Structure 1
């Protein structure tokens, strides 16, 4: 406590000439170790107590921080920090690797560098996150600035308002980007929302600056607060449109570039909302915005040179891309009722029948004298082509479903599906349905693979008179199933990883087929148009586009399984694969061809146990990885896995039969029907279940109107210089037709004639929000703040402007060069 008091005394004394080193001393005093994070609240409480006893310290600390921060570039803090960059992954990685070899020069005028100096410990994020919200609110309440220092608040607010305008223009650009238009052509009908939010942002900023008199570097409290509701409504509409585009991705596909763009659009809209709340009079929202910005800034400052953080963000982007596009093949089905349960069993039975022949073919292939790579090729073709064939004849392979359900999981925990606790409850129920579906799929595979394999071995013996495999090979097959004396379980885990990868591959190729319009392009192929009738070509193109993901996922899954043992042999590694369906077929072949002297109940039971454990490991590994990717793509934090596990185990105790037999009343999920198919309904995420209307733009101003068609003919010959009509301007009879530039005309004529245009955005007779050009934002010469009014005429001469005192707080001229910012204090290396 005495040390805190001394530091605050020094900060108050230096409030006019702030030194970052003094503020760092205060932060070091408040910092706690990772072993005692709970002490963070005690330290903050000590700070609060000192400031409460000495109110002058609160003003001194607030003034010190504000004066220090305004010496740095702030706008980048609000517009860029915590928002994903549009720079490519490899360019960013090359930059950070180069930083390890030759350090990047710091941007000394950036607030991020200042924060990186103040919070230079990796643990700062955690102990700050442990501080209670009530403590933050109490501290912010005490940090009041006196009237003589309101110019500091005005300067900071000007920077925030500038950032709102910059973000607004960026959002407009992203919302009207050609890539977004291509993925969702109907975006043209909603484009006015992105334009209108910019109009509302400009209007809000200008009104706020005028009401609070920020241009004179004061921050008065107006009698009537400027209402941010219209701007927030437009932000919400833009967010709804982005959500609608996401629902259309299954039809259009998505690229990494578009995924990055939509994520930046989401983050920019959220940041714009935070900045708007930061300058409003709602103290609760303001304090929350301050805390969120502080935590974002500290995180960015600590991780700006971290390669791991870059990889973490981009893998999250990749997982979002995979889960955004849901495959439309049968392996995404999840049985939620008895009919779906029976259907899955039939499909798995078909798969088990084919797998028995695949396992037999693979065993017979061992008799071929092949080089290692030749053996890998043969095994890969047996697996890969066999899996593709199973898919084509509408069968399924056990353990494939969990790896293919990332889209269903992601939809269950979608951003708009409610609170996290409700999402986890739905997710736990979905896990139960997935596990039950997996159980019946395994049973279908095994119950057909085992008897069919026995029949094959018996028929071989009857037809040839010799066993299909010798006793040594049969013993080797059973040994590979031993869960204790072989590497069966680690090999089963490897197969589980491949199952997971096959799901990602299927999602990737499904997305690729849709995004690149593979079906339509196949139908335009010149050679195929000659070889196939038109109806056949259409069916073939549709089949490839609908099944490319499943075909490539199954084929490459087979290649993984067939080549792993050979790769292990070449590199001297004990790696192989074990899959439950093939293991069950090998169990039948091994037991049938084993000599009677070597067979015992111990061997039989141990082999059956091995098959069961192999299936469990296959299932758990593939499902856990798929679940991790889905949760990661929706940014569900890792510590919630514990809650999810408790919910699942609680269901095992209360309703164990649900894991083996369908429920009496099937569960209904956000976007999954009773058959387990994904529901792609554009209206499912909208409020009240209603689609976005074609004129989904709420415009507050009535001074701008769309030109009625009856008047368009009369305006064709008018020399219009503006594309929007403003009712608050008077007509000017001195209009010069040669002045075609809106800027030139508005500079020489403070008022303009009413001009209108028919906006081709699918909207009819709606009011548009806008502001007159003479009310556009401009930079003030002395404050670098956005000025709400430009010079309306040339009444002030250049000589008079030159004689104006450099400290003047009046409105500036947009053409006047901006003054160079003061160089902030140098930070210690």
Structure 2
């Protein structure tokens, strides 16, 4: 503690001329290993105790940090740090690879470079994450700035307010982007929300600067605080629109570009909310906003040159794209009740019946004299066309994990589905239902593939008088199933990876079909319109659009299976595939055609064990990868996997039958029905669960506040639903609380409304007092008050610029101290 005191004394003494080296000494003293969370909390507690005993140290540290930060460029910190870049992946990758050979020049006037110098250890992010939230709260609460340093606070607030304006314009640009409008044309009905939030942001910033007199670099406490509620209402409306667009993705499809755009819009809205809370008078919200911003800054500064972090972010983007789109028809692999369980068994039985013939054709194809590439082509066609045929006749192949499963998993841990502990509990129950469904699918495949393969071998022998395969080939088939003397299990793992990839491919083509309107475009094809009747063409277009993902996923899965062995042969690698359904058919052919002196109980039991283990490996690998993608898209942290595993194993111990037989009372999921189909509702906003009202954009009137029940306010009557309550409502029967604004412009009416044409759009969302005056007189009064306030301030401060001007330039900061290399 004595060393901490000495450093704090030095910081207090140097608060007027801050040196980053001294602050780095303090951080080095607090730094511990990321494996010592108790020691990290102990060190922070020691710092808190010293600051409580010596308030002058707390003031010195606060003014030191504030003065140091002000010397650097801050606006990019608020507007860019921690928000997804719109730069392409390959451009960013090329830039970072070039940094390895020829280092990039650091932006020496950026706060990010300062933080990168202070927190230069890779473990900093992890040991800081181990510090308890209450200790962060206590530390931030102690770091208060005295009145003599309010000019520093004013400068910092000016930067924050400028950042709010910049983010507001960016949100408007993204919200009105053509790609977003094409994805969701109805957004035109609510597009004024993105414009109105900008109006609210500018008004809030102007009023805040004027009330706090920030343009004179003082930060007074006004008699009446500037209320951020109208701005927060508009941000909430924008978030509701984004949530609605997300719910329509299964209808409209989504591209990587649009996924990036939606993520940046989400992050920008969240950042704007944090910045608004930074300048409000709610101390608790302000302190939490400081902590969140600091943690984001440290993470970004620590990883700004990391190729792994770039890949990590973009794979999360791909994961989000996969899980946010699901097959509307496709293949479904989740059943929660007995009816769905029985239906899955029937579909798997159809698949097992066909697979027995596919395995037989593949065995017979080996008698053809083919070159390696010819062998790969024949095997790929057998697998691929066979899987597509199974899908067309409504069968299924065991252990397949389509992208819909990942979307279903992600839906149980959505942002609005409750606390993380409850979400993981629900997810563990979904895992049980998925594994049980996969079990019955495997049984359906195996229970049909084995007897049908035996019947085929027996019928071949009876019809031709010779066995279908010789004893050497039969022995080879059984050897390939041996889990101990062959590479059956590693080959099963390779098949599991292919099963997972086929799910991603299915999701990709499902999305492609919807996003590119493949069905409607097929119906407009000139040749097809000439050849086919209109009703047939409509059915063809609908079938292709609904099943393109499943068809391509199955076909390419077959290509993967059929070509792997040939690729291994060409490159001299011991790689091949093993799938439980084909393994069971090969088991039947091998046992029937092997010579009597070679067959024994040990061979039979070992082969059966091999088939079972192949199925387990197929299932676990493909399911684990699908689960990983789903959880990654929701940014579930690594240590939470352990909690999920404990929940699943606890269920195995307590209710093992649930993994093999449907529960008496099936589980119900918010967005998954009993057949495993995703439930989508694009008519409601994410938070309120009610339809978006037609008068979604409301005028901002004076003295507004958000009702606590407004988030749950119904929109059953669109004409009486608003999100704000007017505190100074005039008395009288002709104006009722919650009355909608008189002038609300619907931007989807073709822009031919006489009222819209008569009033400039900039004045359409106009801000004035709540009274009985007309809109024009209210606007004139507003301009008169603004002019009067500007005149009054000009008289009191003749050298200053008009208060409340969002374009008022800030004083140019001094050149920051050069950081040690």
TM-score normalised by the chain length of structure 2: 0.89
Quote the residue 1:66 is aligned against.
66
Residues in 1 aligned to 2:117 and 2:453: alpha-carbon distance in whole angstroms: 69
Cα 1:816–1:641 change in 2 (3 A) is closer
In the alignment, what sits opposite 2:427?
A: 427
CA distance in 1, matches of 2:441, 2:149: 71
Question: In structure 1, what is the equivalent of residue 278 of structure 2?
Answer: 278
What is the distance in 2 between the residues matched to 1:165 and 1:570?
Answer: 60
> Matches of 2:197 and 2:398 in 1, distance apart?
51
Give CA deviations for 1:237-284 in whole Å, capped at 9, x if unaligned: 211211111110000000000000000111111111111111122222
Instruction: Report how far residue 225 of structure 1 moved.
Output: 2.5
2:119 is aligned with 1:112: no
Match of 1:514 in 2: 514
User: Which one is further off, 650-659 or 118-127?
Assistant: 650-659
Maintained 8 Å contact 2:335/2:437 = yes
Deviations 1:713-740 (A, max 9, x none): 99899897964485869xxxxxxxxxxx
Q: Residue 200 of structure 1: CA displacement?
A: 2.1
Task: Indicate the residue corresponding to 2:490 in structure 1.
Answer: 490
- Whether 2:644 is the aligned partner of 1:652: answer no
In structure 1, the partner of 2:630 is 630
Q: Is 1:671 aligned with 2:663?
A: no
Checking the alignment, whether the CA contact within 8 Å between 1:72 and 1:111 is kept in structure 2 is: yes
Contact map agreement 1:791 1:813 (CA 8 A) in 2: no
- Partner residue of 1:187? 187
Deviates more, 1:699-708 or 1:454-463: 699-708
Q: Distance in 2 between matches of 1:601 and 1:130?
A: 57
**Aligned counterparts, 1:395-474, within 5 A:** 395-401=395-401, 404-474=404-474
Q: Aligned residue for 2:550? A: 550
Between the aligned partners of 2:523 and 2:507, the Cα distance in structure 1 is: 23
Contact 1:331-1:400 at 8 Å conserved across structures: no
* CA distance 1:402–1:262, change in 2 (3 Å): closer
Q: 1: distance between equivalents of 2:290 and 2:240?
A: 25
Equivalences for residues 207-218 of structure 1 within 5 A = 207-218=207-218
Q: Hey, what's the Cα distance between the residues in 2 that align with 1:480 and 1:727?
A: 77
| Counterpart Cα distance in 1 of 2:178 and 2:689 | 29
Partner of 2:177: 177
- Give runs of aligned pairs for residues 677-826 of structure 1, distance below 5 A: 677-683=677-683, 686-687=686-687, 689-701=689-701, 706=743, 723-724=763-764, 811=803, 820-826=812-818
Task: Report the alpha carbon displacement of residue 52 of structure 1 after superposing the two structures with TM.
Answer: 2.3
Moved more, 391-400 or 644-653: 644-653
Residues of 1 paired with 2:642 and 2:326: CA distance? 27
- Cα RMSD (Å): 2.9
1:742 corresponds to which residue? none
Over 3 Å counting, the alpha-carbon distance change for 1:714 and 1:417 in structure 2 is closer
Measure, in 1, the Cα distance between the counterparts of 2:335 and 2:579: 22
Please state how far the C-alpha of 1:432 moved relative to its aligned partner.
1.0
8 Å contact 2:193–2:696 — kept in the other structure?
Answer: yes
What's 1:50 paired with? 50
CA contact (8 A) 2:316 2:633 kept: yes
Equivalence for 2:729:
none
Query: What TM-score do you get using the length of structure 1 for normalisation?
Result: 0.89
Distance 2:756 2:372 in 1: 79
Partner of 1:605: 605
Distance 1:517 1:386, change over 3 A: same
Instruction: Using the TM superposition, name which of 491-500 and 40-49 deviates more.
Output: 40-49
In the alignment, the residues of structure 1 paired with residue 782 and residue 487 of structure 2 have an alpha-carbon distance, to the nearest angstrom, of: 73
The structure-2 alpha-carbon separation of the partners of 1:107 and 1:656, relative to structure 1 and needing over 3 Å to count, comes to same
SS of the residue 1:186 aligns to = helix
Residues 718 and 305 (structure 1 numbering): CA distance in 2 closer, same or farther, change over 3 Å? closer
How far does residue 355 in structure 1 lie from its aligned partner after superposition? 0.3
CA distance in 2, matches of 1:177, 1:570: 49
> Quick one: distance in 2 between partners of 1:713 and 1:646?
61
Are residues 200 and 392 of structure 1, via their aligned partners in 2, closer, same or farther at CA, if it must alter by over 3 Å?
Answer: same
1:305 shift after superposition:
0.6
Aligned partners of 1:506, 1:598: CA distance in 2, in Å? 44
Tell me the CA shift for residue 813 of structure 1.
8.5
**2:425 touches 2:647 (CA, 8 Å); kept in 1?**
yes
User: Matched residues in 2 for 1:816 and 1:224: separation?
Assistant: 23
Give the unaligned 5+ runs of structure 2. 704-740, 747-751
| Residues 714 and 172 (structure 1), Cα distance of their counterparts in 2 relative to 1, 3 Å cut | closer
1:452-506 residue CA offsets vs partner (Å, 9 max, x unmatched): 1001000111111110000010000000000111110110000000000000000
- Going from structure 1 to structure 2, the CA distance change for 1:555 and 1:197 (only over 3 Å counts) comes to same
| Corresponding position of 2:89 | 89
More deviation, 693-702/458-467: 693-702
The separation in 1 between residues aligned to 2:789 and 2:108, in whole angstroms, is 33
Whole-angstrom CA distance in 2 between matches of 1:538 and 1:617: 42
- Label 1:330 to 1:345 Cα distance change in 2 as closer, same or farther (>3 A): farther
Partner of 2:721: none
Are residues 1:8 and 2:45 paired? no
| 8 A contact 1:254–1:325 mirrored in 2 | yes
Partner of 2:580: 580
CA contact (8 A) 1:723 1:755 kept: no
1:702: Cα distance to partner?
Answer: 7.0
Q: CA 1:717/1:640 → structure 2, altered by over 3 Å: closer, same or farther?
A: closer
CA distance in 2: counterparts of 1:77 and 1:317, whole angstroms? 22
CA contact (8 A) 1:580 1:612 kept: yes
- 2-structure distance, mates of 1:755, 1:824: 50
Partner in structure 2 of residue 335 of structure 1: 335
Mark the CA change 1:492 to 1:182 in structure 2 (over 3 Å): closer, same or farther: same
Tell me if the contact between 1:158 and 1:214 (Cα under 8 Å) persists in the aligned partners. Answer: yes
Alpha carbons of 1:668 and 1:772: their partners in 2 closer, same or farther (altered >3 Å)?
farther
Post-superposition shift, 1:647?
Answer: 1.4
* Structure 1 residue 376 displacement after superposition: 0.6
| Residues 323 and 403 in structure 2, CA contact (< 8 A), matched pair in contact too | no
Q: CA offset at residue 126 of structure 1?
A: 1.3
SS in 2 for 1:674: coil
Written as runs of structure 1 = structure 2, the 5 A alignment for 1:357-376 is 357-376=357-376
1:636-664 per-residue CA deviation (whole Å, 9 max, x = no partner) reads: 11211111111112222222221111122
Query: Is residue 2:310 matched to residue 1:310?
Result: yes
Deviates more, 1:270-279 or 1:599-608: 270-279
Shift in alpha-carbon separation, 1:728–1:46, aligned structure 2, 3 A? closer
Question: Is 1:201 paired with 2:201?
Answer: yes
Structure 2 CA distance for partners of 1:250 and 1:822, relative to 1, 3 Å: same
In structure 1, distance between residues paired with 2:178 and 2:782: 27
1:699 Cα offset (Å): 3.4
Secondary structure of 2:190's match? helix
- The count of aligned residue pairs is 774
Tell me, which stretches of 5 or more residues in structure 1 are unaligned? Answer: 730-752, 757-766, 777-787
Q: 1:737 corresponds to which residue?
A: none
Please tell me whether the aligned partners of residues 699 and 767 of structure 2 are also in contact (alpha carbons under 8 angstroms): no
Secondary structure in structure 2 of the residue aligned to 1:627: helix
**Distance (Å, rounded) in 1 between the aligned partners of 2:669 and 2:804:** 58
* Cross-structure match for 1:569: 569
Over 3 Å counting, the alpha-carbon distance change for 1:498 and 1:156 in structure 2 is same
Contact 1:686 1:692 in 2 (8 A): no
Give 1:196 deviation, angstroms. Answer: 2.1
Does the Cα contact within 8 Å between 1:404 and 1:504 map onto a contact in 2? no
Inter-partner Cα distance in structure 2 for 1:814 and 1:205: 7
Is 1:331–1:401's contact at 8 Å kept on the other side of the alignment?
no
Residue in 2 that maps onto 1:745: none
Q: Is the 8 A contact 1:325 1:407 kept in 2?
A: yes
Aligned equivalents of 2:186 and 2:521: distance in 1?
23
Q: Per the alignment, in what secondary structure is the counterpart of residue 332 of structure 1?
A: coil
Change over 3 Å in CA distance of 1:306–1:358 after alignment to 2: same
Between the aligned partners of 1:102 and 1:139, the Cα distance in structure 2 is 40
Contact 1:203 1:771 in 2 (8 A): no
Match of 2:709 in 1: none
